[in-house]
Amino acid sequence: MRKRTLEQLYGRLKPGERIPLLLAAEQRQDQTEYQQLFDASPIQNWYLPEHLMAELSLHVLTLTYVTQQLEAAGIVFFALFQMNQQPSSDLDRMGEAAAYFFTINAQGWKGFCNQLGISSGVLVQGNYDGWLLSLCEQHMPNLAPTEAELRETFGDKQFVQSDDVRKRWAQLFKQMTLRTPLELQEDHP
């Protein structure tokens, strides 16, 4: 089928047909086809409770946070295991950097949730029913180097701080909801 004819059918696609094509175009970095598929999608009006998009966005961000934390923990565990088998300064540095990220990310996430007046623990428990994350939250700060120790290892570089991470979570939230965490707490029409 010719491409032009196929493009004329884009408006008839059902969501289950459109989404795989959108993802395939995105993977190929074919912005033109992605945009054509996106623009041809019929518009629907949805009537939702005012809070729902913000709540759903918080759950998506929580899942992102949990994934980042479990990945960082996995890197630390991998480095510790490999160091036990065959010591290496590269593995040691990799584990230290991941432990630092885990700790700073946890502090930033808690700061973001506090800014919203929401318990970070409640959000995490509502989206993750495992035990590894809470175990790591208890013990990872003891493994994480301080910023001064990182400077000794990596040189005089700029290291991310927990407030930088908090701001990044707030920015992602704003991109998803078009509201800052503070705007979410204000009255609006």
Asked if residue 27 and residue 59 are part of one domain, the reply reads: no
Do residues 102 and 15 share a domain? Answer: no
**120 and 63, same domain (yes or no):** yes
Residue 124 lies in a domain: yes
Same-domain status, 69 and 14: no
- 47 inside domain: no
Q: Which structural domain range is residue 122 located in?
A: 52-185
The Cα-based distances of 65 to 59, 62, 105, 171 in angstroms read 10, 5, 8, 14
- Residue 7's H or E segment, with its range, is helix 3-8
The whole-model pTM stands at: 0.83
Indicate whether 169 and 109 sit together in one domain: yes
Report residue 14: phi and psi, to 5°: -85, 160
Indicate if 28 and 61 belong to the same structural domain. Answer: no
Per-residue pLDDT of the chain (189 residues; tens, 9 = 90+): 455 566 778 888 999 999 999 999 999 999 999 999 999 999 889 888 888 999 999 999 999 999 999 999 999 999 999 887 887 788 888 999 999 999 999 999 999 999 999 999 999 999 999 999 999 999 999 999 998 888 888 887 888 999 999 999 999 999 998 877 767 666 544
Asked, for residue 128, whether it belongs to a domain, the answer is yes
Position 152 in a domain: yes
